[in-house]
């Protein structure tokens, strides 16, 4: 099977829409590889913050991105040999990732890295431009969304469960700002691919969303 024939399910959506949980569970159910593309930007952001790299230095940031040694192992995200699963979920890292994601040279540096995750028997990729830019020929594209209030509540619960402090008003403000940045950037703005299935998860459980994605994929495989 050539790489171009490896099936891809692209799951995009804004921050805290549930796409990571849904994509991870779909990958497990199908026995596919999993790509959390947002983690790549967070890993770059974490590396930049640790090395005190200026967020305006595109060249230095791109060098950090292209040199990432990372892997997804079960629920863990590894940077070299360090488990940074929780470290990259800190709000400072998330906000930094959103800011540097608008830089064209950085996105280009991560483009090839993302393509390398496409391996047999298949890939479930989640992010903001998986269906529109990285895997435009994916047989199934899904765009998850939810109201800002529902997303802020999910984010609040996630942070509290992981031991981080959180304020609902601040989270809602951050989500509005991040959505505005992600949707208005010149390169790969956050928007559904033209042929994406839209799925509003505001009043859905993660399991219900997973079943819907699997149902769509089963229908596509029939044709």
Tens digit of pLDDT for each residue in 82-140? Answer: 999 999 988 899 889 988 988 999 999 999 889 989 999 999 999 989 999 999 999 99
SS3 state at 205? coil
Per-residue pLDDT of the chain (223 residues; tens, 9 = 90+): 567 789 999 999 998 899 999 999 999 999 999 999 989 999 999 999 999 999 999 999 999 999 999 988 777 899 999 999 999 988 899 889 988 988 999 999 999 889 989 999 999 999 989 999 999 999 999 999 999 999 999 889 888 888 888 899 999 998 988 888 888 887 778 889 999 999 999 999 999 999 999 999 999 988 7
Where do the structural domains in the chain lie, given as residue ranges? 8-217
User: Hey, what are 22's tokens?
Assistant: 């849904």
Secondary-structure class of domain 8-217 per CATH: alpha beta
Strands 70-73 and 76-79: antiparallel
DSSP letter, residue 143: E
């Amino acid at each position: 099977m050539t790489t171009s024939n490896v099936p891809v399910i692209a799951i995009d959506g804004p921050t805290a829409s549930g796409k990571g949980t849904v994509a991870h569970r779909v990958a497990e159910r199908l026995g596919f590889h999993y790509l959390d593309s947002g983690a790549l930007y967070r890993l770059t952001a974490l590396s930049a913050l640790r090395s005190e790299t200026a967020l305006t230095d595109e060249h230095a940031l791109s060098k950090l991105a292209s040199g990432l040694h990372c892997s997804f192992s079960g629920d863990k995200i590894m940077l070299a040999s360090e488990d940074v699963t929780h470290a990259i979920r800190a709000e400072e890292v998330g906000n930094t990732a959103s800011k540097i994601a608008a830089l064209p040279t950085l996105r280009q540096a991560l483009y090839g890295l993302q393509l390398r995750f496409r391996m047999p028997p298949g890939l479930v990729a989640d992010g903001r431009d998986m269906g529109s830019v990285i895997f435009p020929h994916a047989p199934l594209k899904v765009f998850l969304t939810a109201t800002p209030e529902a997303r802020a509540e999910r984010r609040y619960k996630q942070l509290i469960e992981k031991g981080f402090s959180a304020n609902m008003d601040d989270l809602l403000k951050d989500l509005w700002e991040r959505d505005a940045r992600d949707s208005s950037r010149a390169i790969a703005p956050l928007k559904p691919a033209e042929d994406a299935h839209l799925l509003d998860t505001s009043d859905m459980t993660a399991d219900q969303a997973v079943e819907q994605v699997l149902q769509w994929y089963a229908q596509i495989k029939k044709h």
